[in-house]
Structure 1
Amino acid sequence: MTGTAHPDTLFLGGRIWTQDPDRPWAQALAATGGRITAVGDDADLGGTAGPATRVVDRGGRFGVPGLVDGHIHLNLGGSQSRWELPVSPDADLDGVLAAVRDWARDLPQDAWVVGGIVNSGVLAAADADASVVARLDEAAGGRPVLLRDVSMHNRWVSTAALQAMGLDRTSADPEGGHLGRTPDGSLSGVLEEMASALAEEAFARAVPDPAARTLGSLEEAVRVANSFGITSVQDAATTPAPVEALRTLEDEGRLTLRVVTSAPVRPFLEASVVGDELVAELRRHRSELVRPDFVKVVLDGVPMTRTTALLAPYRCHHHHDEPEYGELYWQQDELVEQVAHCYDLGIGAKFHATGDASVRAVLDAVETVRAERGPGPRFQIAHTEYVDPADLPRFAALGVVADASPYIWYPGVVQDAVAGEITEELLAASWPVRDLVESGAVVAAGSDWPCVLPTPDPWTGLQTLVTRRNVDPAVPGTLNPGQAVDVATALTAFTSAPAEAAGLGEEAGRLRPGFSADLAVLDRNLFEVPVEEIHRTVVLQTWFRGELAHEEVGERVPQEVG
């Protein structure tokens, strides 16, 4: 023991997977001052309790390190969970309109209807027929509506919202974005990429107390994350207001989550300062739990809108005369400058690069700067959906993390939308996780919440890493099944790997002496249950720095997906 003869807290009574290569399994943990002081068996540590030691008997339950979500949007996710209209991504147009109608029924006439998640087929229907946005207007009773799609890159809005944005059929596309139009040239309400920022800004202007809303959203995000055993996260695109709210929670002793932030270097969907000004502002808020250690660089869009940058062209559609490859938002020399600037700032970078062309651009830029300046900041590529085989070994060689999102790669509504745009060959080779792991790359899983699923549920993502199937047995098929990994590798992607990727590798993601006493107590042993049951896992307790952050009360029905 270190620091005292008796630990503050002693965890006994159940098997623990520690993710410590020196001792992968244990029964007991001792912690003092929020840090683990000893790991061992009940017989070894049970006698170390003193009169003031809190002894936690887990009743034979299985334990794992507090999970680390390597890619999450806390403010958006918490806002959606606490304030907004929930829509299933499986809902068709009629289902979305019914949800809007029910939600709007009791709202004031000038209130916005905000929510999601809407699938790409609904947006495509709006673009195809001018009557669709009129149906949205009717469902909302003429109110402004803002609905987010599964990728969070695109929006669908009502006529009243378009008016609040100052847009009409004569409006030009904003830089980096696109205004959807029906065949007669009228606005469909579909907003792609940076056009979505116009809607978010209009809605933000209508919020009477933005600070209170943001604080409430972050409270909810922390609660939801803890309920799934998550104790550390990397926020994927961070602006000052959420960081201020996080610091308020920390100062009040209510922040039970370690947060690494990512500051956008260019405008990205939310109104905010960006670049060096934002980096400086976030650094001003640095604290023990809030770590402003990354920037966010967006290189391309998403496959559903053909804005992902690919090496080979998209599928031919009758309304496209020339092959389409998507578009890189950065010139290569600009990207090299940005990587070098990260060295100058001493800050890491999370690169949004969803296509094999954008992935290669990042790797080329990092290789150029690493060759000149040697090892330096941490770099991550999100989301490594499509990687040319020649580029796979470069992740490990260059020390670049593969930031993967297993929540969106199994057969289902998202992959159905993607399959309509890219070639069968590219789809079949997607998400090459096993190859990346076997090459020595760090593969860090992240939920990308609130994209696709209504919660940052890690167990659905973990199961699909192993099965490459939808957790709903009614949805057929597998996606690139040769890239499946085992349970231990999948758990690593949710614990020590994202911790290392975010710069938390010496304090989170493992249960070993000196590390934070972050522990998730589960209702089942993930190594003993059938793999197909992992998504039904319930977190009974979450401990953060040796203190109880979440306890399941009553019986929670596991989230079903499909």
Structure 2
Amino acid sequence: MSTADLILTNARVLTMDPDHPRAEAVAIAGDRILAVGSAAQIWALAGPATKVIDAAGQTLLPGFFEGHVHVGLGGADLTHLHIGHLHGAEAVGKAFRSFAAANPGMPLLMAQEAHYGILDKPATRHDLDAMIADRPIAMMSPDLHTVWANTAALRAAGLLNGAEMPHGHEVVMGDDGLATGELREFEAFGPLIAHAGEGRINLGIATGEEPHPRPTGAERAADKALLLKGMMHCAAHGVTSLVNMDGNRYTLELLAEMRAERNLPLRVKVPFHFKPHMGLDALDRASAMAAEFDDDWISSGFVKMFMDGVIDSRTAYLLQDYPDQPGHRSEPLFPPERFDEIATEIDRRGLQIAVHAIGDGAVRTVIDGYQAARAANGARDSRHRIEHIELIDPADVPRLGALGITASLQPPHAPGAMDFPLQPTLSRIGAERWGDAYRCRSLAEAGAHIAFSSDWPVADVSVLRGIAAALTRKPYDGAGDERLSLMQVLEAYTAGGAWAAHRDQVTGTLRRGLAADLVLLGGDIEATDPREIPALGVSLTICGGRIIHDIGMLA
């Protein structure tokens, strides 16, 4: 056997390999795992040039697999104002004015994490004008589905007098014939993001199309800088692989350039984003992306879609009326018959499907479409996914396992579990449905594959905070306990995420021959109170044998 380049020993190794779940040490040679075993077995692989890290009893895991993230948007988010901890117009206005003074040349002052009740009333452009009137400012909701802008921002983006939008996207208009300031869904606030200079990175999620004209020079460099900023932030939290849930060919090209420049720290998977305005022939682009980008570092091979919006803005598609708005259920972005046709064609091409579905109506529509695809094409190892599943009808719970559907869930999203407030979400679901909301254990027990993620920048990308949220979440009144065990949660953030992304042959477990992707925590996670897990921190992140985050283990 070869000599190790790096050995991590005296660790509490949780391999996520069911055949050999625990070990004491790991040896790395090049970009691969050379061996996993006892300290004595691994020490025998040391040579004169081998670097050795004594983990001092800390937990060593496969690198975290972030299965649903928006890394370019996250990189941009790191440059924005964050107001999730604030409440009321006075506090928000003070923060905006301070941010404005510190950023005199910024074309748009964007605040993130503006929860729907942050001003104790529906926000309007006039509310934001009272904070700052002479510069464009805007607030983004935590779910990234709604923006509120002041008059200057609406004027700069060409939205003050309204704009025609695709189904499901809306510039809300007032009785005075002008925009109120509320912009619902991605294409509605897309012009605002473009005015900020972040439109190219936002394009994959907003329209699914490519930038035109093709960016060159400084523009490409700026976009790569945002991707790198986002990836390094993820690496600091132990992430070694991610699924970038917004994307296009341009995103893949940027990643390929970063790899050629030896500046790609993480493994990234990028979808083709299919939008309602597209015809089936658009899937030729998805097939081309899958064929051209398919290696251990950069891959595609799947199609992302949105079936609905979010509960807080009442754009999630429900099977029953919203309790606080009788007669309103919203609508699916794809009529069921059309989604069946699209899903069948995607599946026929051998591509994976991932669909954002929040409401129980949207979830059922997606399940029905996957069932139609299987009936038409036959069963295969498709691993089709449903993203979020914040509300599900009890009759649909067992269907995921039966059809081999992955439940791609985000523990930080459940109101009250981490940063999201209980209201208005729970009121809009209705107390009688709380038992059907944010289900996890019941989906797993019914046979669904589970993958956990953050949806950053919707929620904090910190995996340790997500683990704590998953383990400490309190049941809603009348609802069951939806928590999984610690080992199940860790699997969902590692092996489960890799499996859900068809990357389990590359990473997700610590086994000889797989990629040397590891995260060393700052203590023994099994001996830590779940509430204290975030305080452990990440000591070391290794991706492909390269140390990409280190708090001094090699000092």
TM-score, normalization by structure 1: 0.88
Q: Secondary structure at the match of 2:262?
A: coil
Mark the runs of 5 or more structure 1 residues left unpaired by the alignment: 471-476, 555-562
Amino acid at match of 1:235: N
Q: Secondary structure at the match of 1:304?
A: coil
CA spacing shift, 1:135–1:241, aligned 2, 3 Å: farther
**What is the CA–CA distance in structure 2 between the aligned matches of 1:110 and 1:10, rounded to whole Å?**
46
Quote the offset at 1:527 in angstroms.
1.0
Q: Secondary structure at the match of 1:137?
A: coil
**What is the CA–CA distance in structure 1 between the aligned matches of 2:160 and 2:96, rounded to whole Å?**
23
CA spacing shift, 1:259–1:205, aligned 2, 3 Å: closer
Q: Secondary structure at the match of 1:420?
A: helix
Amino acid at match of 1:313: D
Q: For residue 192 of structure 2, what is the aligned residue in structure 1? A: 199
The correspondence for 1:423, drawn from 416, 425, 430, is: 430
**What is the CA–CA distance in structure 2 between the aligned matches of 1:479 and 1:494, rounded to whole Å?**
28
TM-score, normalization by structure 2: 0.89
* Correspondence list, 1:56-75, <5 A: 56-75=53-72
CA spacing shift, 1:92–1:457, aligned 2, 3 Å: farther
Q: For residue 380 of structure 1, what is the aligned residue in structure 2? A: 385
Quote the offset at 1:368 in angstroms.
1.5
Amino acid at match of 1:56: I
Indicate if the aligned counterparts of 1:310 and 1:357 stay in contact, CA closer than 8 A: yes
**What is the CA–CA distance in structure 2 between the aligned matches of 1:409 and 1:26, rounded to whole Å?**
34
Indicate if the aligned counterparts of 2:517 and 2:542 stay in contact, CA closer than 8 A: yes
CA deviation vs aligned residue, 1:39-66 (integer Å, no higher than 9, x gap):
1110122122122333222233221110
Q: For residue 526 of structure 1, what is the aligned residue in structure 2? A: 525
Indicate if the aligned counterparts of 1:109 and 1:143 stay in contact, CA closer than 8 A: no
Q: For residue 127 of structure 2, what is the aligned residue in structure 1? A: 132
Q: For residue 540 of structure 1, what is the aligned residue in structure 2? A: 539
Matched, 1:327 2:348: no
CA deviation vs aligned residue, 1:492-548 (integer Å, no higher than 9, x gap):
110111100001112211111121111111112111111211122200001112221
CA deviation vs aligned residue, 1:247-275 (integer Å, no higher than 9, x gap):
2221122222111112210179xxxx975
Q: For residue 474 of structure 1, what is the aligned residue in structure 2? A: none
Matched, 1:370 2:362: no
Amino acid at match of 2:299: R
Amino acid at match of 1:35: R
Indicate if the aligned counterparts of 2:348 and 2:377 stay in contact, CA closer than 8 A: no
Q: For residue 440 of structure 1, what is the aligned residue in structure 2? A: 447
**What is the CA–CA distance in structure 2 between the aligned matches of 1:426 and 1:181, rounded to whole Å?**
32
Q: For residue 168 of structure 1, what is the aligned residue in structure 2? A: 160
Q: For residue 43 of structure 1, what is the aligned residue in structure 2? A: 40
CA spacing shift, 1:279–1:108, aligned 2, 3 Å: farther
Q: Secondary structure at the match of 1:191?
A: strand
Q: For residue 91 of structure 2, what is the aligned residue in structure 1? A: 95
CA spacing shift, 1:462–1:549, aligned 2, 3 Å: same
Matched, 1:345 2:349: yes
CA spacing shift, 1:19–1:90, aligned 2, 3 Å: farther
The correspondence for 1:218, drawn from 217, 223, 227, is: 227
**What is the CA–CA distance in structure 2 between the aligned matches of 1:42 and 1:387, rounded to whole Å?**
47
CA spacing shift, 1:413–1:510, aligned 2, 3 Å: closer
**What is the CA–CA distance in structure 1 between the aligned matches of 2:523 and 2:98, rounded to whole Å?**
38
Indicate if the aligned counterparts of 1:15 and 1:62 stay in contact, CA closer than 8 A: yes
Higher mean C-alpha deviation, range 441-450 or range 145-154 = 145-154
CA spacing shift, 1:348–1:232, aligned 2, 3 Å: same
Matched, 1:84 2:80: yes
CA spacing shift, 1:126–1:98, aligned 2, 3 Å: farther
Identity of aligned residues (%): 28
CA deviation vs aligned residue, 1:266-288 (integer Å, no higher than 9, x gap):
179xxxx9754466357545554
Indicate if the aligned counterparts of 1:385 and 1:432 stay in contact, CA closer than 8 A: yes
CA deviation vs aligned residue, 1:207-248 (integer Å, no higher than 9, x gap):
994323211111111111111111011111113443333222
Amino acid at match of 2:189: S
Amino acid at match of 1:188: T
Indicate if the aligned counterparts of 1:468 and 1:478 stay in contact, CA closer than 8 A: no
Q: Secondary structure at the match of 1:204?
A: coil
CA deviation vs aligned residue, 1:346-392 (integer Å, no higher than 9, x gap):
21111000011111111111111212212233311011111111111
Mark the runs of 5 or more structure 2 residues left unpaired by the alignment: 201-216
Indicate if the aligned counterparts of 1:126 and 1:189 stay in contact, CA closer than 8 A: no
Indicate if the aligned counterparts of 1:125 and 1:132 stay in contact, CA closer than 8 A: no
**What is the CA–CA distance in structure 1 between the aligned matches of 2:120 and 2:179, rounded to whole Å?**
13
**What is the CA–CA distance in structure 2 between the aligned matches of 1:355 and 1:497, rounded to whole Å?**
24
CA deviation vs aligned residue, 1:383-417 (integer Å, no higher than 9, x gap):
11111111111111111100101111141544312
Indicate if the aligned counterparts of 2:286 and 2:302 stay in contact, CA closer than 8 A: no
CA spacing shift, 1:185–1:17, aligned 2, 3 Å: same
**What is the CA–CA distance in structure 2 between the aligned matches of 1:201 and 1:281, rounded to whole Å?**
25
Q: Secondary structure at the match of 1:375?
A: coil
Q: Secondary structure at the match of 1:224?
A: helix
Q: Secondary structure at the match of 1:402?
A: strand
* Correspondence list, 1:424-503, <5 A: 424-453=431-460, 456-469=461-474, 480=479, 482-503=481-502
Indicate if the aligned counterparts of 2:249 and 2:272 stay in contact, CA closer than 8 A: no
**What is the CA–CA distance in structure 2 between the aligned matches of 1:84 and 1:115, rounded to whole Å?**
6
Quote the offset at 1:465 in angstroms.
1.3
The correspondence for 2:396, drawn from 391, 397, 412, is: 391
Q: Secondary structure at the match of 1:427?
A: helix
The correspondence for 1:259, drawn from 254, 268, 281, is: 268
Indicate if the aligned counterparts of 1:204 and 1:210 stay in contact, CA closer than 8 A: no
Amino acid at match of 1:111: P
* Correspondence list, 1:308-327, <5 A: 308-317=316-325, 322-327=326-331
Amino acid at match of 1:344: R
Q: Secondary structure at the match of 1:416?
A: coil
* Correspondence list, 1:6-45, <5 A: 6-45=3-42
Amino acid at match of 2:20: R
Q: For residue 558 of structure 1, what is the aligned residue in structure 2? A: none
CA spacing shift, 1:420–1:203, aligned 2, 3 Å: same
Indicate if the aligned counterparts of 1:309 and 1:327 stay in contact, CA closer than 8 A: yes
**What is the CA–CA distance in structure 2 between the aligned matches of 1:292 and 1:254, rounded to whole Å?**
19
Higher mean C-alpha deviation, range 226-235 or range 101-110 = 101-110
Indicate if the aligned counterparts of 1:64 and 1:521 stay in contact, CA closer than 8 A: yes
Higher mean C-alpha deviation, range 71-80 or range 323-332 = 323-332
Matched, 1:243 2:248: no
**What is the CA–CA distance in structure 2 between the aligned matches of 1:365 and 1:112, rounded to whole Å?**
40
Indicate if the aligned counterparts of 2:290 and 2:301 stay in contact, CA closer than 8 A: no
Matched, 1:298 2:301: no
The correspondence for 1:405, drawn from 410, 420, 431, is: 410
**What is the CA–CA distance in structure 1 between the aligned matches of 2:440 and 2:10, rounded to whole Å?**
35
Indicate if the aligned counterparts of 1:110 and 1:144 stay in contact, CA closer than 8 A: no
Higher mean C-alpha deviation, range 544-553 or range 348-357 = 544-553
Q: For residue 204 of structure 2, what is the aligned residue in structure 1? A: none
Matched, 1:190 2:201: no
Q: Secondary structure at the match of 1:125?
A: coil
Quote the offset at 1:342 in angstroms.
1.4
Higher mean C-alpha deviation, range 181-190 or range 27-36 = 181-190
Q: For residue 515 of structure 2, what is the aligned residue in structure 1? A: 516
**What is the CA–CA distance in structure 2 between the aligned matches of 1:517 and 1:440, rounded to whole Å?**
30
**What is the CA–CA distance in structure 2 between the aligned matches of 1:27 and 1:482, rounded to whole Å?**
34
The correspondence for 2:243, drawn from 211, 234, 239, is: 234
CA spacing shift, 1:123–1:339, aligned 2, 3 Å: farther
**What is the CA–CA distance in structure 2 between the aligned matches of 1:123 and 1:192, rounded to whole Å?**
18
Amino acid at match of 2:96: V
